[in-house]
Amino acid sequence: MPRSHRRLLPVLAVAALAACDASSPGPGSSASAPLRPRFAFVSNNFSPFWIIAQKGLEKARQEFGIDVEFRAPRSGKLDEQRQILEDLLAKGIDGVAVSPIDPDGIADLLDRLADRCPLVCHDSDAPRSKRRCYIGTDNVKAGREAAKAMKEAIGEAGGKVALFVGRLDAQNAQERRQGFLDEILGSKIELVRDYLDYTDRARAAQHAREALQSQTNLVGLLGLWSYNGPALAAALRDSDKLGRVAIVCFDEDEATLQGLQDGVIHATIVQKPLEFGYQSMRVLKAIRDGQADTVIPPGKIIDTGVEVVRRTSVIDFQKRLKDLLK
């Protein structure tokens, strides 16, 4: 994790604790003073990617007069995320924004939450649940952008591409994969295998090495989650295929950006996690204030967009990212 990210985590942890404390009057406080709305933002794993989302939460906290609790399942496993949501349901919360690890696996819990308080999804959707809307990347479009970048990298000759991701029961992974397949339809690119690591970083690295060693005539590696890019770059550096295999991945992990600078990674599809945090809180506050119609569009999807970062644009992107994390 970058040093700037390490500095930010304790600050935001303190802010989250302060937010919880602010929800109930202390000694000498007026019992009639209005309570600040208290919302929770739940991620699908514990990754530096979410540091930027927390900047959006902090912006919303100051702008909307709310308290925000950030919760992350460190294991990236469904059972841990379920326990986090059960805890929030038990103690009471004014609204929840969640990135469901497996929307079908916690469908009942999501609906119970939605019956008790406003519920929105961010980053990965649960469209069959009672959630009020989805806030985040249009992942089918993002998958298409990844395919365009792969075509750009390997040329018209095409070839075999392997895909790497934590799991394929997450909606965002399914949609990115589908967008990639839609875009390569009719081309000479062939997706030959999906490698699932279940958010185990060691397994992700092992899969990357295995693919490079065992898959003959492999020309491309596609990483769908934030930690896949660094794992793929490290494996390619250590192989004899550097310069002959292209990497396209997602997000702005420090090692991914270094891989772009070094020419090991061709492109990364960067999301806007600050908007995940900020817009989620904006929508929850509006719902609580009875103004849902002013912020939720008819399709119930708020697309925060993506940016394709290549070697030619990575320095500029890093400067903007540094300013964002100040």
Same domain, yes or no, for 249 and 209? yes
Same domain, yes or no, for 75 and 129? yes
Residues of the chain with pLDDT under 70: 1-34
Residue 175 tokens, joined:
């949609």
Same domain, yes or no, for 143 and 132? no
Is 317 among the domain residues?
A: no
Query: Hey, how many other C-beta atoms are within 10 angstroms of the C-beta on 322?
Result: 11
Alpha-carbon gap, residue 225 to 172, rounded angstroms:
9
269 and 141 Cβ atoms separated by less than 8 Å: no
Is 326 among the domain residues?
A: no
First to last CA, the chain: 16
CA-based angle 40:43:45, to the nearest 5? Answer: 145
Is 254 among the domain residues?
A: yes
Same domain, yes or no, for 176 and 78? no
Is 304 among the domain residues?
A: no
The pLDDT, as a whole number, for residue 311 is 97
The domain total for the chain is 2
Beta-strand pair 38-42/67-71:
parallel
Same domain, yes or no, for 60 and 186? no
Q: What is the CATH number of the domain that holds 37?
A: 3.40.50.2300
Same domain, yes or no, for 171 and 242? yes
Question: Could you tell me which residues come within 8 angstroms of residue 80 by beta carbon, excluding any fewer than 6 positions away?
Answer: 73, 74
- To the nearest 10 degrees (0 to 180), the angle between helices 49-64 and 273-288 is 30
Is 234 among the domain residues?
A: yes
Is 18 among the domain residues?
A: yes
Is 306 among the domain residues?
A: no
Residues of the domain holding 39: 3-137+273-295
Same domain, yes or no, for 101 and 147? no
Alpha-carbon gap, residue 77 to 100, rounded angstroms:
10
Same domain, yes or no, for 218 and 178? yes
Same domain, yes or no, for 198 and 229? yes
Is 253 among the domain residues?
A: yes
Q: Which helix (H) or strand (E) holds 26?
A: none
pTM of the model: 0.85
- Beta strands across the sheet bearing 246-250: 189-196, 159-165, 218-223, 246-250, 267-270, 307-310
Same domain, yes or no, for 116 and 133? yes
Same domain, yes or no, for 116 and 208? no
Same domain, yes or no, for 171 and 197? yes
The pLDDT, as a whole number, for residue 29 is 40
Query: What single string gives the DSSP state of each residue in 199-249?
Result: T-HHHHHHHHHHHHHHSTTEEEEEE-STTHHHHHHHHHHTSS-TTTSEEEE
Query: What single string gives the DSSP state of each residue in 30-78?
Result: -TTSPPPPEEEEE-SS--THHHHHHHHHHHHHHHHT-EEEEE--TT--H
